[in-house]
Structure 1
Amino acid sequence: MSIDKSSPIPVYYQLKEEIREKISNSFWKVGECINSERELSEEYGVSRMTVRQALGDLVQEGLLVREKGKGTFVCEPKVKQRDMMSFSEVANKLGFKHSTEVIEFKKMKTPIEFSDIIMFEEIYKIVRLRLIDEVIVAVETVYIPTDYCGFINEDLLKGSLYQLLASYGYEIERSESEIQAILIDDYYKKLFRVDGQIPLLKLSSNNITKDNKLLFVEESIYRSDKYTLEVNILTREGKIR
């Protein structure tokens, strides 16, 4: 592909998409160093500044990473969740092969720590492993009142919980969440099936319907080297600060 400098599409954007396509077609594979700024500048007949802008965008998008003194390398693809979506929706949207393992599903009395927000005597505790290309990227624990679920079993829980609840007439309008980094220990190493250190993020959220009903409480642990959570913070006027 040649760069069309007469096109209304900015030159840096054309170059960025050309590099993205080369990575998608495995011209440069994960972990490989791409051509230098000088080489790309000469190859496409554009300025170093234009190359730097294109590469900078791809670094911000998580497709590339710069290593000082070494070059620019292709990153391992990450699952990136920008809006309030289920894991299944995010994976499908990005074209990833995904699966779910249900490792715990039981009915239990509502724990004391939830008694002030869940006004039901019994809840389901659901613990699921979420996999991308057979790699565990999240451990998801959900607590939901049994009254909200109708019929539910492990096979149904291998799909999208959002879609399952939607079939019962529930729609989540917002999620009140807290995010924190946590240290991996032997328990999480066992769950994620790893031996070494990996970075983890913990997301705790209360998921609420349009009529202000708390539908379920969720605590999810993500591998932050595999999964990115983007948060948009809005003012009351709807502007991002």
Structure 2
Amino acid sequence: MTSSPIYIQIHNHIKREIESGKWKIGQRIPAERKLATDYGVSRMTLRQAVQTLVDEGILERRIGSGTFVASQKVQEKMSGITSFSELTKAQGKVPSSKTVSYHVAAPSLSEMEKLNLTENQLVLRMERIRFADQTPICFEVATVPYELVKKFSKEEVTSSLYRVLEENGLAIGHAQQKVSAMQASERIAEYLQIKRGAAILRLHQVTQLTNGQPFEYVRTQYVGNRFEFYLEK
């Protein structure tokens, strides 16, 4: 079985610590330097694990104060499935993407929970920068069960996963979406050509097939002044 990267293993351990009550909602976690020493890894690896938890909304950074266990957010239902390509085309712009990483690995605890997987199953995890008329709009991390897409090429999956699934007899059902605000990390700021700390809209989406099987867990960070969500009730 493909083993998880070290940062995912640390991510899983910290998540378990939070769920066990070791760190309460609103409590500051130890500094990255101390955590890196405790886990016996470089600060870069530790920072990647923490940033993944921040991107998932489990932790939150407060400039000048540290990193804290995030509080629960008020949720608002959105109708329909948010499709970056469809939204971009509807505005008369040309969508495109750049793949940052694309690999098969063991799932993290969060991915197992969102996709109803066991630790013995593999996932395809891909990171992409999405563009509208060559302007970077968002950074996306998408995870899908590897068993579902293993017969498709990388080009098919990264260009239009939904179309490929539907062409192979798998109908797309509904999605659960959550939107919240955050500040751009140094890595995301570089990808999206913005300043570190700039306003980011964060979308978490779990999409299901019509049979109820969740097949996609996406974490997307949109540049706040380049994208907006339109909701109807």
| 1:102 aligned residue | 99
Corresponding residue to 1:115 among 112, 120, 138: 112
Report the counterpart of residue 20 of structure 1 in structure 2. Answer: none
Relative to structure 1, the CA distance from residue 122 to residue 180 in structure 2 (aligned partners, 3 Å threshold; closer, same or farther) is: same
Q: Give structure 2 stretches of 5+ with no counterpart.
A: 1-77
- Report which stretch shifted further, 188-197 or 89-98: 188-197
Kindly indicate which of the two structures has a greater share of residues assigned to helix.
2
Cα separation, partners in 2 of 1:155 and 1:89, compared to 1, 3 Å: same
Alignment of structure 1 residues 174-213 onto 2, 5 Å: 174-195=174-195, 198-213=198-213
Structure 2 CA distance, aligned partners of 1:161 and 1:90? 16
Alpha-carbon spacing, 1:82–1:178, altered in 2? closer, same or farther (3 Å):
closer
Count of aligned positions: 153
d(CA) in 1 for partners of 2:128, 2:169: 23
Q: Within 5 A, what are the aligned runs for 1:83-232?
A: 83-116=80-113, 117-120=115-118, 121-195=121-195, 198-232=198-232
Aligned-residue identity in percent: 14
- Note if contact 1:177-1:204 (Cα within 8 Å) is conserved in structure 2: yes
- SS at the partner of 2:152? coil
Deviation at 1:150, TM superposition (A): 3.8
Return the letter of the residue paired with 1:138: C
User: TM-score, normalising length from structure 2?
Assistant: 0.59
Q: CA deviation at 1:199?
A: 2.1
Q: CA deviation at 1:86?
A: 2.1
Three-state SS of the structure 2 residue aligned to 1:205 is: strand
Bigger Cα Rg: 1
CA contact (8 A) 1:106 1:125 kept: yes
Unaligned runs of 5+ in 1: 1-80, 233-239
Give yes or no for contact 2:124–2:146 (8 Å, CA) kept in 1.
Answer: yes
Alignment CA distance shift 1:83-1:225 (3 Å):
farther
Whole-Å Cα distance in 2 between the matches of residues 180 and 85 of structure 1? Answer: 15
User: CA, structure 1 residues 227+83, in 2 after alignment: closer, same or farther (shift >3 Å)?
Assistant: farther
Give the AA of the match of 2:124: Y
Q: Report deviation, 1:180.
A: 0.5
CA contact (8 A) 1:150 1:168 kept: no
Shift of 1:83: 4.1
Measure, in 2, the Cα distance between the counterparts of 1:115 and 1:144: 10
